[in-house]
Amino acid sequence: MLYAARRWRGAAMSHCGTLYLVPAPLDFGCNTQTPLTASMPQATLQLAATIEHWVCENAKSTRAYLKRIAELYPLSAPLQTMQLQELPREVHKKGDHQGGFDARPLLQAALQGHNVGLVSEAGMPAVADPGSSVVRAAHELGITVVPLVGPVSLLLGLAASGLNGQSFAFVGYVPVANDERAKKIRELELLALKTGQTQILIETPYRNSALLQTLLQTLQPNTRLATASGLTLPQGSCHSALVKHWKTKGWVLDNANPTVFMLGA
């Protein structure tokens, strides 16, 4: 029996399957792929290979991920016979916390005793990604929830930033319109400088350079700005400096690499 499959006390006390939160590698949509062993523990991959029922952000990318896992560990069932249920578009768009989406019907298989995997396109499901409605539904139904270890870009980026890791906030995306964007950045900077709380934001990759320009134009010279691009990938890079020093560094952000932006004292 797999180590990870029996490791949570709750699992033995219920006739339900377990909801496993299965992280995905961070190379989704990137030009290069890394070996899964670079960023995924063996136990995560071995356990994922045993799951035949999935709730996912996108069925196509989940199949692609399962094919990569199958190269290392044989899947317990053919891909064609697996149950892959996509989260509806409304959850992608509005997020799990708006609109009152009821995810309980997605967990029928777990109620029938099967383990279910929750997976997003990159990183940890339900963190800066859809999925929390499924996790809430599992808790409501008395289904044991087990998060598996894998890459989480936000915290890899934070660790590599040199910014305060004892107090931090993830704020998601900043507005796209110039005026609102600059206003929001100034608010976040004020909060960071006043409270010491590092502010973490993300952007759609093709807007990386534009966001960086706005940050450098908007932030005060002595504020620290850090970026972490292409985490776990061959082309990855982490930069961190006071804003006044950034201007002399000549660092460039590739608009193809997912990037985490962080600012603080």
Q: Segment 87-146, which members bind a copy of itself (CB under 8 A)?
A: 95-97, 124-129, 131-133, 135-139, 144-146
Site for a copy of itself in 52-91 (CB under 8 A): none
Q: 51, 69, 84, 160: which one contacts a copy of itself (CB under 8 A)?
A: 160
Shortest spacing between CB 95 and a copy of itself, in angstroms: 5
Q: Using CB under 8 A, which of the segments 51-59, 62-70, 80-88, 234-242 binds a copy of itself?
A: 234-242
Tokens of 5: 């499959």
Is 40 a binding residue for a copy of itself by CB under 8 A? The answer is yes
Is 234 a binding residue for a copy of itself by CB under 8 A? The answer is yes
Report the side by side order of strands in the sheet with 53-56: 83-86, 53-56, 116-119, 19-21, 145-147
Q: Are strands 224-229 and 259-264 parallel, antiparallel or unpaired?
A: antiparallel
Residue 247: C-alpha distances to residues 68, 74, 223, 242, 256 (Å): 41, 50, 13, 9, 22
Q: 24, 34, 48, 181: which one contacts a copy of itself (CB under 8 A)?
A: 34
Shortest spacing between CB 240 and a copy of itself, in angstroms: 4
Tokens of 148: 């598996």
Q: 48, 87, 154, 219: which one contacts a copy of itself (CB under 8 A)?
A: 154
Q: Which residues in 66-78 are b (16+ Cβ under 10 Å) and which e?
A: bebbeeeeebeee
Is 166 a binding residue for a copy of itself by CB under 8 A? The answer is yes
Q: Are 171 and 128 in contact (CB under 8 A)?
A: no
Is 42 a binding residue for a copy of itself by CB under 8 A? The answer is yes
